Amino acid sequence: MPKELAKERRDASVARIAARQHGVVTSAQLRIAGVLPSGITDRLRAGHLHRLYRGVYAVGHPNIGNEGRWMAAVLACGEGAALSHRSAAALWRIGPLSAPVDVTVASSGGRASRQGIRLHRSLTLSPADLTRRAGIPVTKPARTLEDLRRVLPRKWFARALREAEFLGLPIGEDFKPDRTRTDLEGLFLSLVRRHRLPQPEVNVRVDRFIVDFLWRTECLIVEVDGWESHRMRSAFETDRARDARLNVLGYAVVRFTWRQVDNDAREVARTVRNLLRS
């Protein structure tokens, strides 16, 4: 076979591997594709490969994006490694991007950390804790939250948990949504103070109901809904019947979700202020 044709086939094989891995390959995969160590050197010199970590390369160009960066870090840490902690949260879309990349390996020793990688070693990590998302080995949502709970401040962990609940991720029984109810009410009261709204009565009885927040003179009730309100049809119907009864008694009832109180506090405060004035 002519050398040029053989090289084209090797390059096509490398391109297929890289396409499945967000633009990155390992030296072992290059060898399987027929690229010898000397061929790797030649491709590095020609700018066809770009070294990211020892034995891990970007194909074609170094601008590989977040998925490529995560995949490269996992590949650099060897067999059984998985994206974890803050980086797994970013991949699951329950946390912001962070650097360096968090990777967990199932051991108590082994290879050293590499620049740009925060390496975690765990004796409890098992295949049951792992899955793939966008082709990247990653800890499952429940394990990701378990890891985050140990490294994040309570406020930031609660936010990640709420995002996981909102997205409907499988997070298991250890992270029940009603555990964050008190946090949600506290968050709303902080919003009231921060935006200098009149202080409401909290968890008081109106007719046969206990309402979250009441401005008695203005006949305004605010209810803050956790994720369970969106998950259960019976809860949805009960809340609507409750609101209708309170409306008949002359109260205006407005509901806000976790995401509104946490992510759109200014608009929530504006709405409450306008209702109090009216």
pLDDT at position 3 is: 64
Q: What is the DSSP string of 100-156?
A: SEEEEESSSS-SPP-TTEEEEE-SS--GGGEEEETTEEEE-HHHHHHHHHHHS-HHH
pTM (predicted TM-score)? 0.64
Which tens digit of pLDDT belongs to each residue from 214-248? 999 999 999 987 654 444 454 566 778 889 999 99
CA of residue 67 relative to chain centroid, distance? 14
Q: In what order do the strands lie in the sheet with 56-59?
A: 24-26, 56-59, 49-53
What is the structure's pLDDT at 87? 97
Single-letter amino acid code for the residue at 131: T
Say whether 33 sits in a helix, a strand or coil: coil
**Domain ranges for the chain:** 3-63, 66-171, 182-277
10-69 pLDDT per residue, tens: 888 888 999 999 999 999 999 998 989 998 998 899 999 999 999 999 998 888 999 999
User: How would you class 61 by CB atoms within 10 Å of its CB: exposed for 0-12, middle for 13-18, buried for 19 or more?
Assistant: exposed
CA neighbor of 96 nearest in space, from 63, 53, 133, 66: 66
45 exposure class (CB count in 10 Å sphere: 0-12, 13-18, 19+): exposed
CA distance 228 to 214: 22
What CATH number has the domain spanning 182-277?
Answer: 3.40.960.10
In this prediction, residues 127-138 reach a mean pLDDT of 95
CA distance to 103, 144, 251, per residue, from 21 (Å): 16, 22, 57
118, 103 in Cβ contact below 8 A? yes
Please write the tens of the pLDDT for every residue from 146-203: 999 888 887 788 888 878 887 889 887 666 544 455 677 888 899 999 999 999 998 8
Tokens 């506090």 sit at which residue? 265
Task: State percent of the chain over pLDDT 70.
Answer: 87
- Indicate the average pLDDT of the chain: 86
DSSP state of 48: S
Confidence of residue 2 (pLDDT cuts 50, 70, 90): low
